[in-house]
Amino acid sequence: MARILVVHGPNLNLLGERQPEIYGRQTLEEINQSLLALAAAEGVEVEFFQSNHEGAIIDRLHQARNVVDAVVINPGALGHYSYALRDAIASLSIPVVEVHLSNLHAREEFRHRLVLSPVCRGQVMGFGPYSYLLGLRAAIHLIREGAR
Ligand code: DQA
């Protein structure tokens, strides 16, 4: 069975209570539950990792390297400046799909800069928690396409 790692970056553990006018009221646990339901319906396995620490996320990606078939990542603010995370993603041979809840192009200038995007296969943003579901669907599609 295909395995997909879903990574949630800094501050996403606070979803539900953190700036709900921007990020909505769903908690991270609720988002993970909806991803589990989609994964079950599609016959894939998902696993989750959340960390507020750049290095811990990089370590987790290294571990996943030869174990999972794709990664879906919401890097949080790391997406705007982490070259270390960019290098980690670039070193993976599996597809990585970047997701964001909010539409970053409609927000502050500093959020327009996305340093991971060039090394990810694609991005989904602006659809709230549904961005994650679309991101997971994209990852499943890429795995199936690759297996063909
Ligand atoms: C975010 C957008 C980032 O700019 C922000 O730092 C986050 C969440 C999003 O999902 O919209 O933590 O990645």
**Domain for residue 104, yes or no?**
yes
**Domain for residue 1, yes or no?**
no
**Domain for residue 105, yes or no?**
yes
Number of domains in the chain: 1
**Domain for residue 3, yes or no?**
no
pLDDT of residue 146: 87
Which structure tokens are listed for 118?
Answer: 């060039």
Q: CB within 8 A of 16, min separation 6: which ones?
A: 25, 26, 27, 28, 30
**Domain for residue 100, yes or no?**
yes
- Distance of alpha carbon 127 from the chain centroid: 13
Residue type, 78: L
- Domain containing 120 equals 8-144
Nearest CA, atom 13, ligand 1: 76
Residue 106: CATH number of its domain? 3.40.50.9100
> Ligand 1 pocket, 24 CB below 6 A?
no
Determine the Cα–Cα distance for residues 87 and 95; give it in Å rounded to an integer: 14
pLDDT of residue 98: 98
pLDDT of residue 70: 98
Contact 109, 130 (CB under 8 A): no
Torsion of CA 6, 132, 104, 61, to 10 degrees: 10
**Domain for residue 2, yes or no?**
no
**Domain for residue 71, yes or no?**
yes
Could you say which residues of the chain have pLDDT below 70? 147-148
> Which of 21, 57, 101, 107 gets mutated to test ligand 1 (max ligand atoms within 8 A of its CB)?
101
**Domain for residue 119, yes or no?**
yes
pTM of the model: 0.97
